[in-house]
């Protein structure tokens, strides 16, 4: 019994002394490099456009590059995610593996509006209300959610996490083909697009207050040679 208890205590002590994080394991292995050969990090992006509108039309749409951590917004040339450039200093390439979308909207109109979004690896040209409605019929769409007129239940929050390899439909190819990744100062050659749409029975006048947040799981790889 005493021998078994001593063995149990030794095993417990060994488990408690094991490195818990990736960096700890990296150091424990005797490595003296600044960073591992690859690193996977969650980075955040907050859209700076606070009002979305398409005055005079009964629909509105805007897009985001869901697999570009370098420049998510195709219109603003907004720059990379917070922390991206710091990690990019150590690696030559990146690939976005997952993205969590959180879109909060407040209706500023005097009539109800329906909102939603879609992640797709195929271009989604939306040029009218019917096209906006059809976009949200896809299986990977979130919504439509009905937002009441201003002063009623006039706000909604839509949240969804996408595994981008599954959006493409071939996980092995997504992770092996460099067109789905990119050099750390460019966008990927192939893009996963996020289409954000709203439509109503009347034409927009005031639009929507928009609070869009994207959380990217980014894998950095091909560590750079560090030179003095």
Q: Token digits for 118?
A: 């879609």
Which residues are 96's β-sheet partners?
218
Is residue 185 in some structural domain?
A: yes
Strand runs labelled E in the chain = 39-46, 51-52, 59-65, 91-107, 113-120, 141-147, 155-163, 182-183, 193-199, 208-223
Q: Are 62 and 73 in contact (CB under 8 A)?
A: no
Is residue 81 in some structural domain?
A: yes
Same domain, 114 and 167: yes
Same domain, 123 and 178: yes
Q: Could you give the number of structural domains in the chain?
A: 2
Is residue 188 in some structural domain?
A: yes
Is residue 62 in some structural domain?
A: yes
Is residue 228 in some structural domain?
A: no
Range of the structural domain that residue 4 is part of: 1-32
Same domain, 161 and 108: yes
Nearest Cα to Cα of residue 121 among 78, 52, 177, 41: 177
Same domain, 113 and 193: yes
Is residue 20 in some structural domain?
A: yes
Same domain, 43 and 26: no
Q: CATH number of the domain that 52 lies in?
A: 2.60.120.20
Full pLDDT tens readout for the chain, 228 residues:
555 666 666 666 555 555 555 555 544 444 556 788 999 999 999 999 999 999 999 999 999 999 999 999 988 765 678 899 999 999 999 999 999 999 999 999 999 999 999 999 988 889 999 999 999 999 899 999 999 999 989 999 999 999 999 999 999 999 999 899 999 999 999 999 999 999 999 999 999 999 999 999 999 999 988 765
């Amino acid at each position: 019994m005493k021998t078994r208890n001593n063995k149990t205590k030794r095993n417990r002590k060994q488990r408690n002394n094991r490195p818990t994080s990736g960096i700890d394991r990296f150091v424990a292995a005797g490595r003296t490099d600044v960073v591992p050969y690859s690193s996977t990090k969650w980075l955040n992006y907050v859209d700076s456009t606070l009002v979305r509108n398409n005055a005079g039309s009964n629909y509105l749409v805007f897009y985001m590059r869901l697999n570009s951590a370098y420049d998510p917004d195709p219109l603003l040339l907004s720059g990379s995610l917070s922390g991206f450039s710091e990690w990019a200093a150590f690696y030559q390439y990146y690939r976005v593996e997952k993205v969590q979308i959180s879109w909060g909207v407040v209706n500023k109109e005097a009539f109800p509006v329906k909102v939603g979004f879609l992640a797709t690896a195929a271009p989604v040209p939306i040029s009218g209300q019917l096209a906006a409605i059809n976009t949200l019929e896809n299986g990977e769409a979130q919504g439509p959610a009905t937002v009441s007129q201003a002063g009623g239940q006039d706000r909604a929050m839509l949240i969804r996490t996408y595994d981008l390899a599954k959006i493409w439909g071939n996980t092995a190819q997504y992770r092996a083909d460099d067109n789905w990744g990119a050099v750390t100062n460019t966008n990927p050659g192939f893009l996963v697009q996020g289409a954000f749409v709203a439509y109503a029975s009347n034409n927009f006048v005031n639009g929507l207050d928009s609070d869009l947040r994207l959380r990217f799981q980014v894998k950095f790889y091909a560590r750079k040679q560090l030179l003095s």
